[in-house]
Chains A and B, each alone.
Chain A
Amino acid sequence: MHPTAESLEKRFSDVFLASRESLGDLSVYVRPEGALELFHALHDMPEYGYDYIVDVTSVDYPMDPERFEVVYILYSIPRRHRIMVKIRIPEENPVVDSVVGIWRGAEFMEREVFDMMGIQFRGHPDLRRILMPDDYEEGYPLRKDFPLVGKGWRDSFSFVPKFQGGPGSIEGKTNGSGPFLPS
């Protein structure tokens, strides 16, 4: 076990779930409750010193009971070490604590995760859509049940050519139509 993961497990035994090392990356799985304290420690304690936020992103596993995985990629410039902190959350209550209070650069990253996957960040100062239009109501594009050709919107334009059978169905069960749907 990586020494950083070991000391995290000791210090945050009720939040820490597991750790994994693969391809030279250290991944740490934690519970959503109490994760904010762990992030504070990762940033503030010189033992960890993860002062640089690389990215906040998310992955959708529609078949799992805990559907979404929020991934925080952090880097420590003094220690030259990278860590990935992963939090699993269910679909019914996709909420995690915002880390904007720790790394201000997370503001736009979390807004993008909200925009693309519909994950809420508790305590975020300005949680709005960022890449999609503000009034976009057709859902969250990067979820696995969102069809590649889009849904709703383009049907309302009469000049847009219709594909045979229309765009993929809403529930992720594609009906094999459209030029770009998965084989």
Chain B
Amino acid sequence: METENLTGVTEDIKRQEVVLSNLRQAVLQNLDSSIQTDQFLLNMGPQHPSTHGVLRVLLDLDGERIKRSVPDLGYLHRGTEKIAEYRTYNQIIPLTDRLDYVSAMANNYAFVRAVEKLLQLKVPERAEFIRTIVAEVQRIVNHLFWLGTQALDIGAMSVFFYTFREREELLDLFEVLCGARLTTNYYRVGGVESDMPQEVVDRLYRFVESFESNIREYNTLLEKNRIWLARTKNIAVITGDDAVNFGLSGPTLRGSGVPYDLRKFEPYGAYDQVEFDVPLGTNGDIFDRYWIRIEEMRESAKIIRQCLDKMPSGPFMTEDHKVSFPEKGRVMHNMEALIHHFLLVVQGFKVPPGDTYCGTETPKGELGFYIVSDGSGKPYRMKIRAPSFVHMGAFDHMAKGYMIADIVTIFGTYDIVMGECDR
């Protein structure tokens, strides 16, 4: 019985081999006459794990090559600009947290700077230093998140665990600082919400101390990884001229060798009192943008250390009581302070009429607020210049001619967050 079965099996295998060899011959013949590929339209998203939110792209494909891509935005549109017209300036700060929820502190900073520019408000020295430190911590948090997810998108899972270990430590610091990890709502017009406690200072020193070796650790996983190099080198190349013409900003622009960094061009906060370099790429490909973000983390650590060394003592909130709240203890016992508090909450502070644009270098690029004030406590019009939105405008240009598998890495290289893109 058994031998009979066996012979049956071998015959089966032989028959299959014949079929396979026929197939192979047919394929080879077809190859000679050059394969004709069909052009077709592929819908990607809006639900896709690597779009970092809800982004839909229509892809016009020739085989596996992208001929044209049309991003379809707006799936996360919440009308932040419209809502802002009905809110006092202090009420808008938590709205900005929800724009780019990976780096809420940076959004807070961009918004309060625009309002302060309209008010022509001077911020105390200590507040400027705290803001700069926190903004740079946020930059590290953002780049760690980016590095982990970009590697995850390409298929390298382990990097994610290492970067999130450090990210966790920094988010814990945010929690000590303001009670929240992601939607922080920490910056205020005229300063920050609370002083930086000594515990945070000590832990930051310790973090910065060990961070360099952590970066080296991430790099051992990626720098000479052949898959990483093959997936990032010479992909999504954009020249410096094109990048400027498209209005790209942040690491996406600097990867093409354009030294546009608002921290250097229009120094704010404490950036003019610290030394740091702006890393620049040469090829303008995904690898260069990865390298820049790694270097930016090193520079951020440098800035944090210098700021911690130089941090002056003093108030962390402006003394101008037209915008700053009275001390809570006084509100409970003093009628005038209570009225003052009440008016600031209900009506908000008045901002003189006028309009201004103020751009801030956030981890993703230039986040700008264009605010028109009519003299009341609410903005007449607020326009958010979101880097992710502008970057999507260059998506078709940068994805053209690459393989369909590269789409995911190209999304990642912008460091795109749809909350900011759709607003």
> Which A residues have a C-beta under 8 Å from some C-beta of B?
22-23, 25, 27, 51-55, 57, 59-60, 71, 73, 77, 80, 82, 84, 103-109, 112, 116, 129-133, 141-142, 146, 148, 180-182
| Contact assessment for A108 and B245 in the assembled complex, using a CB-CB cutoff below 8 Å | no
Distance of A37 Cα from B343 Cα, bound (Å): 49
* Minimum CB distance partner of B265 in chain A: A80
- A–B pairs, 6, beta carbons within 8 Å: A25-B356, A54-B357, A55-B357, A55-B368, A77-B258, A82-B357
Q: Distance in Å from the Cβ of B397 to the closest Cβ of chain A?
A: 7
Q: Does B159 contact A (CB under 8 A)?
A: no
Residues of B within 8 A of A27 (CB): 355
Report B403 CB to chain A, min CB distance, Å.
24
Taking CB atoms, residues of chain A closer than 8 Å to B77 are 131-132
Which of B86, B120, B370, B422 is A148 in contact with, Cβ under 8 Å?
B86
Given A141-B79, A142-B81: A54 and B247 interface contact (C-beta under 8 Å): yes
- Report whether A23 and B366 are in contact in the complex, using a CB–CB cutoff of 8 Å: no
Give chain A residues whose Cβ lies under 8 Å from the Cβ of B390. Answer: 105, 108-109
Question: Does B354 make an interface contact (CB < 8 A)?
Answer: yes
CB-CB contacts below 8 Å: B383-423 with A: 383, 385, 389-390, 392-394, 397, 422-423
List the A residue with the shortest CB-CB distance to B70.
A126
Q: Which chain A residue has the least Cβ–Cβ distance from B85?
A: A148
A142 to B359, CA, bound (A): 22
**Using a CB-CB cutoff of 8 Å, which residues 59-105 of chain B contact chain A?**
73-74, 77, 79, 81-83, 85-86
Interface check B330, CB cutoff 8 A: no
Q: Are A77 and B260 in contact (CB under 8 A)?
A: yes
Footprint of A on B, CB under 8 Å?
Answer: 73-74, 77, 79, 81-83, 85-86, 117-118, 120, 242, 244-248, 258, 260, 265-266, 354-357, 359, 366, 368, 370, 372, 380-381, 383, 385, 389-390, 392-394, 397, 422-423
B249: min CB distance to chain A, Å = 9
CB <8 Å contact, B245 and A51: yes
The smallest beta-carbon distance between A68 and chain B, in angstroms, is 11
- Shortest CB distance B400–A (Å): 13
Contacts of B355 in A (CB 8 A): 27, 59, 71
Contact across chains for B393 and A103 when beta carbons are under 8 A apart: no
Q: What is the CA–CA distance of A181 and B423 in the complex, to the nearest angstrom?
A: 21
Which residue of A23, A77, A133 has the most chain B CB atoms within 10 A of its CB atom? A23
Contact across chains for B86 and A182 when beta carbons are under 8 A apart:
yes
In the complex, which of the residues B83, B244, B385 contacts A55, with contact meaning CB atoms closer than 8 Å?
B385
Which residues from B are CB-within-8-Å of A109?
A: 247, 390, 393
Identify which of A54, A84, A107 contacts B393 (C-beta below 8 A).
A107
Chain B nearest CB: distance from A175 CB in Å? 16
Q: A51-B245, A60-B381, A71-B370 are in contact. Are A130 and B74 (CB under 8 A)?
A: yes
Report the bound CA distance from A103 to B243 in whole Å: 10
B74 close to A148 (CB less than 8 A): no
CB pair B73–A53 under 8 Å, yes or no, is no
Question: Smallest Cβ distance from B195 to chain A, in angstroms?
Answer: 29
State A27–B357 Cα separation when bound (angstroms). 11
Q: How far is the CB of B175 from chain A (nearest CB, A)?
A: 31
- Are A105's CB and B368's CB within 8 A? no
CB A84 to nearest CB in B, in angstroms, measures 7
| Minimum C-beta distance from B20 to chain A (A) | 49
Complex formed: what's the CA distance from A82 to B260 in Å?
13
